[in-house]
Structure 1
Amino acid sequence: MRPQVVAHRGASHELAEHTLAAYLTALDSGAGGLECDVRLTADGHLVCVHDRDLRRTAATKGLVSTMDLAELSELDFASWKNPWADLDDEAPDIDETHHSVLTLRKLLETVADYDRRVELAIETKHPTRFGGLVEKRLVEMLRDFGWHHADAPVRVMSFSFTALQRVERLAPEVRLVQLIDKPTYWPMVRRVIGKDWVVGPGIGMLRDHPRVIESIARTGRDLHVWTVNKERDLDLCLEAGVKAVISDRPRLMIDLLDKRFGGEDTREAAAQ
């Protein structure tokens, strides 16, 4: 079975992660899903940012949780990826809105308006000073879009079991993905997660701990694997029956899957 290709923070191999430009490029490549991390600003907005501080992606020591959206909107979230872009006289004009901080609402609107079904995998980051308010605000936004039902094009992911429990209480039909990055977590996690929850191991677990992956598979749970950027890792996912591959390089993954499963028609079917 052909897995869904999910763009990890957008087409983040080529473009700055979590920018609208990275997500639009991923959509144009045919990605069936988009992955994002969300954090809450000081004035209560959900924004797509991975790190708690902004040193890596916006060249400032500020923390997302202590800054208002207006302050974040003044920062450049793209230059770190290509610091020499301003010296390229032949580069096309840049739409600054594609490179500034991206709110989750804007990303949801982009997906809702796209001309085919695209799924969203939203990861809530913990620990955070706001605790469960992150999930509360997230579910409120999903309700605004009518995306709190079982057939909605959205799933919520977290390494925090408690965070996913909150989402389950607030929106019981939303699909949940328990992320795990260490094989020793699985024996504990398997006893407590919901029977319909997806499991999201890192690609390192597929490489180094196949017995753990086999144990997960025996429970009948779907596997969504991150971060799959190489052909040999994609092959491991196919062997394991993985349902979704989360990749910084969605275009490459789609091209490789086209060779194995067919071309454009198959790709569109996989995205639906």
Structure 2
Amino acid sequence: MRRTPRGRRAREDRTVPQVVAHRGSSHDTAEHTLAAYVRALDVGAEGLECDVRLTADGHLVCVHDRDLRRTASTAGLVSTMNLAELDELDFSSWKSPWSGLDDEAPDRDPDDGKVLTLRKLLETVADYDRHVDLAIETKHPTRFGGLVERRLVETLGDFGWDGPGSPARVMSFSLNAVTRVRRLAPDLEVVLLVDKAHHWPVLRPVAGADWVIGPGVQELRDHPGLGRHLVKEGREIHVWTVNTADELQVCLDLGVTAVISDRPAYMLELLGG
């Protein structure tokens, strides 16, 4: 029988859910930038969530979309560009396009808006002065297939975070990706993300007994039976993306152990700090 991961035991012993910053403190700061994650840490986020994609030259970078039109104003694909090419782009101006006209705005470090590699994010967490969890989502489909998970596990291994007691957990909507991570790193915690409530009856027979399940908060609101079934089955539940008091209450009513939010400071305030 697989033992319960230490991180999971710690979460289950809590009276309130763990607050995880979704792409950093992304309500206030451009998502997936170093500035967004530093802000999340400064406000007290207990975990950081990121999406990872593989560049053409084999680097894992924290980017959600497959193309860069939304966050870097270019139609380029992450998977066809080298890290050096991505490093030339601005990943933060889209969030506040008029900030350059504000004479009272604080000076911004240009490096804060550059593409963020997973390695840099891991180094930031490793050097921080308190324990911080990482929830790392691998994006699929991708031309690189399972290479994404292999590179991810290798990178975590460089920090000694691919075994028991790791602060990292790996998430995906892809059943194949979650299965692959568990095969590559049997003691690494995994989260199977669920996009639609009606997918769960299909996924349930093949989901590992100790896998965390990650439904969206809107699905839980629209389909209350999903949450009831997960609770009845004794599943640990991590919910995305929780940004309002009403959404948080849905999670509290179900006893979920982690909420992933664009607004970590607000969630911590609602939970009493």
Deviation per CA, 1:157-193: give whole Å up to 9, x if none: 0000000111011100000000001111111111001
- Report whether the alignment pairs 1:62 with 2:76: yes
Aligned position for 1:269: none
Aligned position for 1:127: 141
Aligned position for 2:234: 220
Aligned position for 2:126: 112
Output the amino acid matched with 1:77: F
How far did 1:77 drift?
0.2
Matches within 5 A, 1:161-240: 161-240=175-254
How far did 1:213 drift?
1.0
Aligned position for 2:104: 90
- Partners of 1:240 and 1:94 lie apart in 2 by 41
How far did 1:243 drift?
0.3
- Partners of 1:157 and 1:150 lie apart in 2 by 17
Matches within 5 A, 1:44-59: 44-59=58-73
Unaligned ranges ≥5, structure 2: 1-14
Q: Of the candidates 44, 47, 53, which is equivalent to residue 33 of structure 1? A: 47
202-211 vs 225-234, which deviates more? Answer: 202-211
RMSD: 0.6
- Partners of 1:75 and 1:100 lie apart in 2 by 7
Aligned position for 2:7: none
240-249 vs 85-94, which deviates more? Answer: 85-94
Aligned position for 1:100: 114
Query: When the two structures are superposed, what TM-score results if normalisation uses the length of structure 2?
Result: 0.94
Deviation per CA, 1:79-101: give whole Å up to 9, x if none: 00000011111111111111110
Deviation per CA, 1:15-55: give whole Å up to 9, x if none: 10000000000000000000000000000000000000000
How far did 1:150 drift?
2.2
Aligned position for 1:267: none
Deviation per CA, 1:196-239: give whole Å up to 9, x if none: 10000000122111111111111211100000000011011000
Aligned position for 1:42: 56
Deviation per CA, 1:53-85: give whole Å up to 9, x if none: 000000000000000000000000000000001
Aligned residues: 259
How far did 1:8 drift?
0.2
Deviant stretches of 4+, over 3 Å: none
